[in-house]
């Protein structure tokens, strides 16, 4: 059986066994971390950083975590709420006046955070390279009309949420999201998490392996919200290895970390706003997450999702995440972060071999179920 490194409380031996089993199968390199009531009870990793299996995945290996980055983006916004600098029920235009154009004056910050603003993609043409120019990308979003009536339904803001929420954060703090995360989240918490990846960290960044290509079922409607969102821009796994991607501020897409690094950030949400002696939020501010903003079939994802402010509160797409005072999100290919407030539990999983589908995977399910089976 594959070798698994790190520490694992004996109570959670099933998690270690599940990782070993998948490293012998469909996993290339991965890490899993679990915090229970302020104690890191699982911090394990194994496999390889590269498809040729020449470089082992180590304790310090990091990887592009795709949309798991959104969990940190929305934490940053909640921190501004905590400080009294941001009202999620206020119009976005209060902070970013240009955004009020083209029928968006009533779009509120909560709509950006819950994927209900109607601005789920850029108008064509728009490429991955266009995202590297922050100011122009934001200007284009400000000048767009919503693609549906804001606040009436969710439509996953796959790439745009990083710019929409990130620009509000920048207008308030005069800091880019990457700088805000470094100075005010990762730094104080001692967490190995960064938006983008520093040049000096290049050798410890694992290579992403794209999932098997899925052929569309039936005819594809080029005017559908899903197509418009996912083709403006078309995401590229290859691009994640470029210096331009790693230098960019893509708050919805290019966080770089591992399970322990993500855990060290997000456990603050599961533990009432304080972790490791550092308080970022009050319990009152965390309660905002549970203010349901939409519940139904997501107009972009085509599956039912229940969105609170900043995080998903439940979906049959991931039935292995328990209902209750729990919220979560993950990244393309299967990475996942679960915050369970009832149990003061945080579960994170980051990997480089991407599974099919936008959220979760059979591997995610195996690890999360193993954690809950141990409780």
3-state secondary structure of 275: strand
Q: What is the mean pLDDT of residues 190-215?
A: 94
Task: Please give the pLDDT value at position 334.
Answer: 98
Token representation of residue 214: 């899925």
Is the predicted pLDDT of residue 216 greater than 90, yes or no? no
3-state secondary structure of 12: helix
Which helix (H) or strand (E) is 70 found in, with range? helix 69-82
User: Is residue 320 classed exposed, middle or buried when 0-12, 13-18 and 19+ CB atoms within 10 A define those classes?
Assistant: middle
Which residues, including other chains, have CB under 8 Å from residue 64's CB and lie 6 or more apart? 197, 205, 208, 240, 245, 253, 254, 255, 256
Strand ranges of the sheet holding 255-257, from the earlier edge strand across to the other edge: 63-64, 255-257, 194-195
3-state secondary structure of 330: strand
**How far is the C-alpha of 220 from the C-alpha of 120, rounded, in Å?**
18
Q: Which CATH number fits domain 5-374: 3.30.1360.120, 3.40.720.10, 3.40.710.10, 2.60.120.1440?
A: 3.40.710.10
Q: What is the mean pLDDT of residues 48-60?
A: 98
Give the range among 2-16, 146-160, 208-222, 295-309 with minimum mean pLDDT.
208-222
Q: Identify how many contiguous H helices and E strands the chain contains and give both numbers.
A: 13, 14
Q: What is the mean pLDDT of residues 136-148?
A: 98
pTM summary value: 0.98
The chain-wide mean pLDDT, for the chain, equals 97
pLDDT digits (tens, 9 = 90+) for 319-357: 999 999 999 999 999 999 999 999 999 999 999 999 998
Q: What is the mean pLDDT of residues 19-37?
A: 98
Task: Please give the pLDDT value at position 220.
Answer: 74
pLDDT digits (tens, 9 = 90+) for 236-293: 999 999 999 999 999 999 999 999 999 999 999 999 999 999 999 999 999 999 999 9
Which residues, including other chains, have CB under 8 Å from residue 216's CB and lie 6 or more apart? none
Is the predicted pLDDT of residue 213 greater than 90, yes or no? no
Asked if residues 85 and 172 have their Cβ atoms less than 8 Å apart, the reply is yes
Task: Please give the pLDDT value at position 357.
Answer: 86
Task: Please give the pLDDT value at position 171.
Answer: 98
The distance of Cα 112 from the centroid of its chain, to the nearest Å, equals 14
Is the predicted pLDDT of residue 70 greater than 70, yes or no? yes
Is the predicted pLDDT of residue 215 greater than 70, yes or no? no
Is the predicted pLDDT of residue 77 greater than 80, yes or no? yes
Give the range among 93-107, 133-147, 202-216 with minimum mean pLDDT.
202-216
Cα radius of gyration rounded to whole Å, the chain: 19
Asked if residues 310 and 325 have their Cβ atoms less than 8 Å apart, the reply is no
């Amino acid at each position: 059986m594959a070798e698994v490194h790190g520490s694992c409380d004996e109570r959670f031996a099933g998690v270690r066994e599940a990782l070993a089993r998948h490293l012998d199968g469909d996993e290339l390199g991965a890490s899993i971390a679990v915090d229970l009531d302020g104690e890191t009870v699982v911090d394990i990793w194994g496999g390889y950083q590269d498809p040729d299996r020449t470089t082992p995945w180590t304790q310090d290996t990091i990887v592009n975590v795709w949309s798991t980055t959104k969990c940190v983006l929305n934490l940053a916004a909640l921190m501004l709420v905590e400080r009294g600098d941001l009202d999620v029920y206020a119009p976005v235009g209060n902070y970013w006046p240009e955004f009020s154009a083209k029928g968006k004056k009533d779009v509120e910050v909560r709509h950006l955070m819950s994927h209900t603003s109607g601005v789920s993609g850029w108008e064509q043409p728009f490429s991955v390279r266009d995202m590297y120019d922050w100011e122009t990308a934001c200007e284009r979003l400000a000048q767009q009309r919503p693609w549906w009536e804001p606040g009436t339904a969710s439509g996953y803001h796959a790439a745009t949420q990083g710019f929409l929420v990130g620009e509000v954060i920048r207008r308030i703090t005069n800091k880019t999201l990457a700088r805000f995360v470094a100075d005010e989240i990762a730094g104080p918490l001692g967490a190995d998490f960064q938006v983008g990846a520093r040049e000096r960290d290049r050798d410890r960044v694992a290579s992403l392996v794209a999932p098997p290509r899925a052929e569309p079922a039936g005819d594809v409607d080029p005017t559908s919200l899903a197509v418009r969102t996912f083709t403006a821009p078309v995401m590229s796994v290859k691009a994640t290895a470029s210096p331009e991607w790693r230098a960019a501020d893509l708050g919805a897409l290019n966080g770089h970390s591992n399970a322990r690094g993500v855990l060290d950030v997000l456990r603050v949400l599961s533990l009432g706003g304080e972790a490791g002696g550092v308080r970022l939020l009050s319990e009152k501010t965390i309660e905002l997450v549970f203010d349901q903003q939409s519940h139904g079939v997501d107009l972009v994802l085509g599956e039912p999702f229940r969105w609170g402010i900043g995080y998903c509160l439940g979906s049959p797409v991931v039935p292995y995440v328990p209902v209750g005072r729990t919220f979560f999100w993950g990244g393309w290919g299967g990475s996942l972060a679960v915050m369970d407030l009832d149990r003061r539990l945080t579960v994170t999983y980051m990997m480089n071999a991407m599974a099919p589908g936008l959220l979760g995977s059979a591997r995610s399910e195996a690890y999360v179920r193993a954690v809950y089976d141990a409780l």
